[in-house]
């Protein structure tokens, strides 16, 4: 049976694709640099996705919706032996990160500039050590909650591509989305919450560089939660 075509009406997990007009250099980065880093989803995924990188890597990590890219570029420079796949459909954010990759020589990053579910469905089983979903769009209105990326179908996707004991890390300053994620992961047989006390989920991850979204939340008086779930 042919899989139904997915579109913005059925799986609209992200919002707008483009903001302000790109500067000349940013547009040039997208045209000349992005193709070298883009994951080729047309070809079948290699059985060992570490071969996506020219240099040897011993771990694989995926960040969904990397926004301004502050966290992704920080982690890539911090951990050169880890291969990263970053997904971000917002063109302006992608242009910003590509420039940072060139400036810092982070050759351990591969990119996808569209829907993250396309990458998740392309990846082979049990290939990722960690998935990061940091400050995703909360889709505040109740009628839009179906667009939240944390959902039973996407947790199924996470469970398939994560290695046993692999991690799903989620950060948000929106209480309703934090509770939503806790409930969905609680009800999914493949995940267990690793927190042992309140400080575990109120304390930023080790080496956390913070992001502009987090800074905005703090300015507006909101606290962040940092949830870690283990693939059982």
User: Where in the sequence numbering do the catalytic residues fall?
Assistant: 137
- Cα 89 versus chain centre, distance: 11
DSSP notation for 21-90: PPPHHHHHHHHHTHHHHB---SSPPPSSGGGGSSS--SEEEEEE--TTSHHHHHHHHH-TTEEEEEE---
Q: Of the candidates 211, 127, 140, which has an alpha carbon nearest to the alpha carbon of residue 175? A: 140
Residue 228 CB neighbour total at 10 angstroms: 17
Which parts of 115-197 fold into alpha helices (H)? 116-122, 152-161, 175-186
- Sequence-distant (6+) residues with CB within 8 A of 28 are none
Phi-psi region at 125: left, alpha or beta (left = phi > 0; alpha = psi -120 to 50)? beta
């Amino acid at each position: 049976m042919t899989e139904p075509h997915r579109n913005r009406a059925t799986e609209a997990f992200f919002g707008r694709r483009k903001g302000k007009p790109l500067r000349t250099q940013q547009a040039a980065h997208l045209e000349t640099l992005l193709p070298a880093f883009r994951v080729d989803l047309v070809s079948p995924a290699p059985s060992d996705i570490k071969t996506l990188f020219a240099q040897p890597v011993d771990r694989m990590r995926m960040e969904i919706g990397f926004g301004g890219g502050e966290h992704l570029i920080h982690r890539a420079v911090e951990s050169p032996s880890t291969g990263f796949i970053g997904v971000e459909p917002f063109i302006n954010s992608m242009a910003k990160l590509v420039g940072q990759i060139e400036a810092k020589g982070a050759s351990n990053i591969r990119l996808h500039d569209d829907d993250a579910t396309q990458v998740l469905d392309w990846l082979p089983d049990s290939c990722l050590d960690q998935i990061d979903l940091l400050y995703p769009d909360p889709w505040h209105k109740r009628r839009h909650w179906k667009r939240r990326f944390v959902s039973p179908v996407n947790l199924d996707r996470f469970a398939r591509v994560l290695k046993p004991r692999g991690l799903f890390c989620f950060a948000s300053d929106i209480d309703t989305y934090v509770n939503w994620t806790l409930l969905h992961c609680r009800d999914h047989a493949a995940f267990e919450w690793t927190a042992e006390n309140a400080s575990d989920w109120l304390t930023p991850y080790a080496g956390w560089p913070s992001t502009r979204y987090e800074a905005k939340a703090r300015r507006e008086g909101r606290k962040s939660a940092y949830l870690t779930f283990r693939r059982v």
